[in-house]
Structure 1
Amino acid sequence: MNDAKVTDLNASPLQSGLVAQVPLPDVAPARPRRHAFGLSIKLILLTIVFVMVSEVAAFVPSVSSYRVRFLEEKLATAQAAAVLLGSAAWDNVPRTVQDELLATVGATAIVLRTGKASRLLAAVEMPPSVDEVADLRDTSLWRSAQAAFTTLTAWTPRTLRVIGADRDGKSLELVISDRPLRAAMMRFAANILILSAVISILTAVLIYISLQRLLIRPMRQLAQAMVRYSEDPEDKSRIIEPSGRSDEIGIAEDKLAAMQNHLTESLAQKRHLADLGLAVSKVNHDLRNLLASAQLFSDRIAALPDPAVQRFAPKLIATLGRAIDYCQTTLAYGRAREREPQRRLVDLGRICREVADVLGLDHHATIVFDSRIEAGFEVDADPDQLFRVLLNLCRNAVQAMDGEADPAVVRRLFVEGRREGGVVVIRICDTGPGVSAKARQHLFQAFQGGVRPGGAGLGLAIAAEIVRAHGGTIALVDQSAPGAAFEITLPDRPIDFDLAARARVG
């Protein structure tokens, strides 16, 4: 059960308020994971598709080149036959032998062109009409690709006139059927497609194995680590352990580990604050009752005629009353912020004397307190809250100087105040050991900005919150003298000009 979300019906407002402000994050129910179209399947499919696209892009010029080579081989065969057909001895060869030679060449007619003159070397009795002219003297890629596509898509037989390149002023022309060419091109295209498919699959498998080891598996482990951590973010054993890789995945692992460590620490701190809020609310409730009883006793003591009692009893009663008001205010508001300031014109010198009385600085054995506030110096602030700010800062200074045992060390605490236009500047200085560099990093943050060992850092956090509520600032300022110096600026309230004008008229 989550302790930070359990509230007692009889708990005080602070108890429920503080606990409600630090809820632990709810882990959303995990969605069902679908592996049918995971990265691995998508990767291998995309690889196959891309390789096939590249093969298809190379398919067209390959088929075009094959068509040209096929026709050039036919012309080379016809060139050898033309030597026999052009000799004088061929005139006495029977017609059947000529037809066999044409069938061997795969042509229905062979023509020898010399210049502008043409000579029919051999032909069937009735040469068919020509459907397309294949001029091998022009073998540009576009023309060859267009002719190859026409041949592949020709479902009915066609007759081609093939014109060869000129050699020694002579060239051959063939009249052939496109069926053998188309059949050869279909076989070549099928082989190309099968080879492309095999290459695509092998390439996809190799790429898949490589990327599986380099990317997919580390990313899957990264996702599993995030899911496992999200199930219980407060368990430090669930924080991912970086693999030590130097690439982007290794950087992502390092950043994820750092983020998970920071989140785990933050959740632990929030749980600690929730537990602390519960404890403080209980202590505050009981402390208020004890202080009320002490106030009753102090009222009886104030009635005694002893001069010393009459001198200190009012201060004791005032201190107990202020402490009861603090407890009551905390219980009434029940949240981790101060109430809005109820600003009045306050005598800063009198507030400083009250702080000195509470801390026992009037007759302190080792610490000298010096109030350098001019008589009648006024501040526009909430008196109780300003008292708390000065009390926290002076108490920190006293505790820092009390920690030094050497009697020769000078221990002095003084408060200064000056006005700069509509802003009051208050400076609290001491001759203590100062503030360490580590404490400066989180100086005004609760439970992190303690300036002394064992301190919780709440005093400075409370002082900073009150000063900000007044619209002012608080800072640790550097000074040439030893010790620490805190400077507070409190601006006066802005004047409502409409109200001021009406008051002047009235």
Structure 2
Amino acid sequence: MNRRVHVQDGSSALPPGPPEGPEEARAAADTLVAADVARPSSARHLGLSGKLLAFTLAFIMLAEVLIIVPAVAAFRINWLSDRLAGARTAALVLDAAPEDMIPPQLTRELLGSVGAITVALKRDDTRRLLASTDMPPHVDHHADLRDVSPWFAVSEAFDTLLARDGRTLRVVGTAPRGGGFVEIVIDETPLRKAMLRFTRNVLLISLIITALTGALVYLGLAWMFVRPMRRLTRRMIAFRENPALPALELEPVGRMDEIGQAEREFVTMQQQITDTLQQKTHLAALGLAVSKINHDLRNLLASVQLISDRLADIDDPAVQRFTPKLEAALDRAIAYCEHTLAYGKAVEPAPQRRMVALAALVGEVRGTLGLGEETSTIGWIESIERGLMVDADPDQLFRILLNLSRNAMDALAARAPNDPERDQIRITGRREGAIVVIEVADTGPGVPQRARAHLFEPFQGSARRGGTGLGLAIAAELMQAHGGDIQLVPGTIGATFQLRLPDRPVDLDAHRAQRSHG
């Protein structure tokens, strides 16, 4: 954002103001938003929604893996347990029949139903081979289902999945009717194929569940979080492109979560920045107007000063009495013209402090306002300590007291007709150690509550209609330059402003040098 304002030699380049109406503002905002959407951006390929989808799928797949692996291990144990259950039944039949009384065909059918190559039973110290087809030359792997830990079951499941076809497996389980054990020798290939089918089916179902769950989670989060954040981002980009746009209300604004708070804070910030830019525009326009007025007013004051010099030569007593006041007022007016751009371009000069009689300075303020005379409808009361001296710049302190007194006079004049007994301006002065306290009070309606928050800010603290709001701001700035402060005293009739003006610190080295030189 690059906004330059120049006020020099009666010319100014003002920044563009905001659109005139809400329709134009909204149209401009929509245009900027559309331009931003059309602008290519590499970050769009993996934005917040893409990251959200990737994380959702990754975590759901991780959860599926944690479910599939134990499921496959449990499937293997169940499959082998079924074979052992069939072997126990066959063992009961074969063990109960006398030897050589079981036909070979029945033996093969029993082994076929179990899916085993051999079935053996061990009781006490006797191990008996109940049935056998072609006895394998050796057994490749052993599995004891009497005591299987979860981690061992998972490792055995992976071992079976990675085994070669044709591997033989010896499986041991508890014997029927307790005591001993029953064991079978089987071909592991059917188990491996069954486990592969089971894994494929579970994985397919898991992928379907993952896709559906991921889509639902993504759509839900995108609707609840990504969409409002994307809208807020577009508003930020539009505001960055043209900060002069007025703040547009975001919808929805009733959310009570962090996104709703971010939307409300952004609208507040946008409104504050817009107000600040409007104030800067106002200041730029004011600087241009004041520079023109300053140029012409100084010429007019120069002519009036020549006329006042001629009035000084007239012997009329009334003219001689008012001419010094007129000349003093003209001198101050010319000096003020040199600093009329205090809030537009220049700054207030540093105070030229010296000891000034406060009573005399207050008398000049009263004479400038024309108060305290018999024809005045506003009363004037002074209560200043005798011989009170204040360490200040006389011209700047005069401006402070004049601004405060003029504000009080305007507040009292608003309820005309005035009565000097009722409508009064009171100025008091006293010393409290190294601080001079001056109070300017009136018996008017007081300062409205709405004006107190920004009372000493330029263009903000005006308490009357048509006021510029600069008088109190100038007074506060001049008091700060003196190292003092100004504040509104609460709980008083009308408005009471208190000035606290400290003396300058004593330079002990300079004081000793001055005494030694003397």
TM-score, structure 2 length as denominator?
Answer: 0.87
Aligned to 2:10: 11
1:52-106 deviation per Cα after TM superposition (whole angstroms, max 9, x unaligned): 1001011221111101111011112223333443354672556576456535533
Aligned to 1:422: 434
Aligned to 1:257: 267
The letter of the residue matching 1:127 is: P
Q: Is the 8 A contact 2:283 2:344 kept in 1?
A: no
Q: Secondary structure at the match of 2:355?
A: strand
Q: How big is the shift at 1:264?
A: 2.1
The letter of the residue matching 2:193 is: A
Question: Residues 291 and 407 of structure 1: is their aligned pair in 2 closer, same or farther, counting only changes over 3 Å?
Answer: closer
Alignment of 1:106-505 (within 5 A): 106-155=115-164, 157-170=166-179, 171-236=181-246, 239-248=248-257, 249-330=259-340, 335=345, 337-363=347-373, 364-408=375-419, 410-480=422-492, 482-505=493-516
1:375-404 deviation per Cα after TM superposition (whole angstroms, max 9, x unaligned): 432110111100100110111111111222
Q: Secondary structure at the match of 2:488?
A: strand
Moved more, 436-445 or 48-57: 436-445
CA distance in 1, matches of 2:342, 2:499: 28
CA distance in 1, matches of 2:444, 2:94: 123
Moved more, 278-287 or 366-375: 366-375
The letter of the residue matching 1:349 is: A
The letter of the residue matching 1:5 is: R
CA distance in 2, matches of 1:405, 1:362: 17
Match of 1:51 among 52, 55, 60: 60
Q: Secondary structure at the match of 1:164?
A: strand
- Unaligned 5+ segments in structure 2 are 18-31
Task: Among all aligned residue pairs of Structure 1 and Structure 2, give the percentage whose two residues are the same amino acid.
Answer: 48
CA distance in 2, matches of 1:243, 1:479: 43
CA distance in 1, matches of 2:460, 2:282: 13
1:285-332 deviation per Cα after TM superposition (whole angstroms, max 9, x unaligned): 211111111111111111111111111111111110111112124469
Moved more, 274-283 or 223-232: 223-232
Question: Residues 102 and 334 of structure 1: is their aligned pair in 2 closer, same or farther, counting only changes over 3 Å?
Answer: closer
Q: Secondary structure at the match of 2:494?
A: coil
Moved more, 147-156 or 439-448: 147-156
Question: Residues 273 and 6 of structure 1: is their aligned pair in 2 closer, same or farther, counting only changes over 3 Å?
Answer: closer
Q: How big is the shift at 1:340?
A: 1.2
Question: Residues 374 and 212 of structure 1: is their aligned pair in 2 closer, same or farther, counting only changes over 3 Å?
Answer: closer
Question: Residues 240 and 334 of structure 1: is their aligned pair in 2 closer, same or farther, counting only changes over 3 Å?
Answer: closer
The letter of the residue matching 2:378 is: I
Question: Residues 337 and 115 of structure 1: is their aligned pair in 2 closer, same or farther, counting only changes over 3 Å?
Answer: farther
CA distance in 1, matches of 2:157, 2:93: 32
Q: Secondary structure at the match of 1:36?
A: helix
The letter of the residue matching 2:125 is: K
Q: How big is the shift at 1:334?
A: 6.5
Q: How big is the shift at 1:229?
A: 3.2
Q: How big is the shift at 1:139?
A: 2.7
The letter of the residue matching 1:424 is: V
Q: Is the 8 A contact 1:225 1:240 kept in 2?
A: no
Q: Is the 8 A contact 1:109 1:127 kept in 2?
A: no
Q: How big is the shift at 1:345?
A: 0.9
CA distance in 2, matches of 1:62, 1:179: 19
Aligned to 1:81: 90
Q: Is the 8 A contact 2:342 2:348 kept in 1?
A: no
Q: Is the 8 A contact 2:426 2:441 kept in 1?
A: yes
CA distance in 2, matches of 1:94, 1:456: 121
Q: Is the 8 A contact 1:369 1:414 kept in 2?
A: yes
CA distance in 2, matches of 1:331, 1:88: 123
Q: Secondary structure at the match of 1:414?
A: strand
CA distance in 2, matches of 1:299, 1:162: 129
The letter of the residue matching 1:459 is: G
Question: Residues 8 and 457 of structure 1: is their aligned pair in 2 closer, same or farther, counting only changes over 3 Å?
Answer: closer
The letter of the residue matching 1:431 is: T
Q: Is the 8 A contact 1:47 1:200 kept in 2?
A: no
Question: Residues 210 and 68 of structure 1: is their aligned pair in 2 closer, same or farther, counting only changes over 3 Å?
Answer: same
TM-score, structure 1 length as denominator?
Answer: 0.89
1:17-42 deviation per Cα after TM superposition (whole angstroms, max 9, x unaligned): xx79x9xxxx9x97843321122222
Q: Is the 8 A contact 1:240 1:256 kept in 2?
A: no
The letter of the residue matching 1:288 is: R
Tell me the matched-pair count. 492
Q: Is the 8 A contact 1:39 1:216 kept in 2?
A: yes
CA distance in 1, matches of 2:497, 2:426: 11
Q: RMSD between aligned alpha carbons?
A: 2.8
Q: How big is the shift at 1:194?
A: 1.5
- Unaligned 5+ segments in structure 1 are none
Q: Secondary structure at the match of 1:5?
A: coil
Q: Is the 8 A contact 1:245 1:251 kept in 2?
A: no
1:181-224 deviation per Cα after TM superposition (whole angstroms, max 9, x unaligned): 22211221122221111110111111122223222222222222
CA distance in 1, matches of 2:40, 2:163: 53
Question: Residues 492 and 82 of structure 1: is their aligned pair in 2 closer, same or farther, counting only changes over 3 Å?
Answer: same
